[in-house]
Amino acid sequence: WSVHKFGGTCMGSSERIQNVANIIVNDDSERKVVVVSAMSKVTDMMYSLIHKAQSRDESYVSALDELLEKHKLTALKLLDGDDLASFISKLQHDINSLKDLLRAIFIAGHVTESFSDFVVGHGELWSAEMLSYVIRKLGVECNWMDTRDVIIVNPTSSNQVDPDFLESERKLEEWFSRNPSKTIIATGFIVNTPQNIPTTLKRDGSDFSASILGALFRARKVTIWTDVDGVYSADPRKVSEAVILSTLSYQEAWEMSYFGANVLHPRTIIPVMQYNIPIVIKNIFNLSATGTMICRSPGDENGDGQRLESLVKGFATIDNVALINVEGTGMVGVPGTANEIFSAVKDASSEHSVCFAVPEDEVNDVAKALQSRFRQALDAGRLSQVEVIQNCSILAAVGQKMASTPGVSASLFTALAKANINIRAIAQGCSEYNITVVLRREDSIKALRAVHSRFYLS
């Protein structure tokens, strides 16, 4: 099996969906799973109409009609005859049900997460179904898979979901006995709970769907199609000299995506890693580009071994973070204080980093949780303050064994100093694969360019 995933941009219009179908039909692997996102902007539109209904704003009705029109127009350009009629009738039926559901949300002025997940998943249902009709029209037999029938997940304490692979394998066998097929068009993003309540893999989760299916099918390769030539050494929208990385290890790819390279969802790496399945990132608009290959132990593509610069693969930034600084003499020599701080943070935040940067929208809750946990120490003066520094960004340099190699950090800090950038915090030693600094948000792009040019143009 080979798995292909096409993101929202690839599925953005009738021409693009036709293009995806052509790529699939011309792909020479014998058996394939094609995972698709909703058409671009559709998931955003869905979240926005839920928000409107919940805020008792009647315009959710016209927003829903807009979605209907968008999919109808696309289908009209791609399909005809019975295929068109059955797609439109299903679409109309879904829109009617969503109207009822959103009306209930409008009346209640409230929405639960499972209602919301059920609504937003429709984008993937429509795009997958449309694509399967187009592929059949090209003469290739295929089945479409509603992945809520196959991928089972359990919630985690940090508001994420984890796939239950054993149960999903069982579900896949059941599905396959009903739908034996060599070409499967699967919905990205949507999944199910053991209690049969539809849910999602959260924003941008279709990459993760593709790798879960890659693991379930023991695929020989997962190809993620997007709108850039592969993973760049930095976000190409911010650093015009960024270069394509022809290979990355799983760990490097994970670190790049975790620290903000949104070409890949960070959790994508985990399911394929255990079966050694490579991921290839390819550009749907530039088929001749080789792309980026992510695998366990890539060769040294630059051929320059341990050269300092070759250890650093790329840079990424996360904006919208705030720093929390807990200070006081009471922390000196008191074992367990750091542990207590992190456990207080854990109760209030779904995410934190070792350098204690938290997403900006969570900083107030985190600061309050710390203040209440350390009330006594603060009142007694053992802790002087829980300081919040807003408007920060995290800049990470990523590369294999880079952090422990002498000279790399020095080069990084020199580049930042030369660019006159003030570093607010440094996290080093938490992973061999990254060096992370926290700086002012307004310096984020300048810092990214400064470090990139130090390592790539010197």
> What does the binding site for ligand ASP look like in residue numbers (CB under 6 A)?
7-8, 37-38, 43, 123, 188-189, 203-206
The kind and range of the H/E element at 114 are: helix 113-120
> Minimum Å distance from CB 284 to ligand ASP?
14
279 binds, among ligand ASP, ligand ADP, none (CB under 5 to 8 A by kind): none
123 binds, among ligand ASP, ligand ADP, none (CB under 5 to 8 A by kind): ligand ASP
Cα distance between residue 252 and residue 327, in whole Å: 33
User: Which lies closer to ligand ASP via its Cβ, residue 2 or residue 37?
Assistant: 37
188 binds, among ligand ASP, ligand ADP, none (CB under 5 to 8 A by kind): ligand ASP
Residue 235 is a binding residue for ligand ADP (CB under 6 A): yes
- Helix H, strand E, coil C: the string for 261-291 is CCCCCHHHHHHHHCCCCCEEEEECCCCCCCC
> How many CB atoms within 10 Å of residue 157?
7
Residues 184-223 contacting ligand ADP, CB under 6 A: 204
CB-nearest residue to ligand ADP: 7
* Cα–Cα separations (whole angstroms), residue 85 to 15, 16, 79, 261, 278: 20, 21, 9, 41, 40
Give the closest residue to 396 by CA, choosing from 230, 239, 257: 257
Q: Which stretch binds ligand ADP (CB under 6 A): 136-144, 255-263, 357-365, 374-382?
A: 255-263
Is residue 399 a contact partner of residue 405, using CB atoms and an 8 Å limit? no
9 binds, among ligand ADP, ligand ASP, none (CB under 5 to 8 A by kind): ligand ADP
Q: Which stretch binds ligand ADP (CB under 6 A): 6-14, 50-58, 384-392, 428-436?
A: 6-14
The kind and range of the H/E element at 42 are: helix 42-54
With CB under 6 A as the rule, give the number of residues binding ligand ADP: 18
Cα distance between residue 271 and residue 208, in whole Å: 8
Is residue 318 a contact partner of residue 394, using CB atoms and an 8 Å limit? yes
> Minimum Å distance from CB 367 to ligand ASP?
29
Residue 232 is a binding residue for ligand ADP (CB under 6 A): yes
The kind and range of the H/E element at 295 are: strand 292-295
- Where do contacts with ligand ADP occur on this chain (CB under 6 A)? 7-10, 204, 226-228, 231-232, 234-237, 261-263, 314
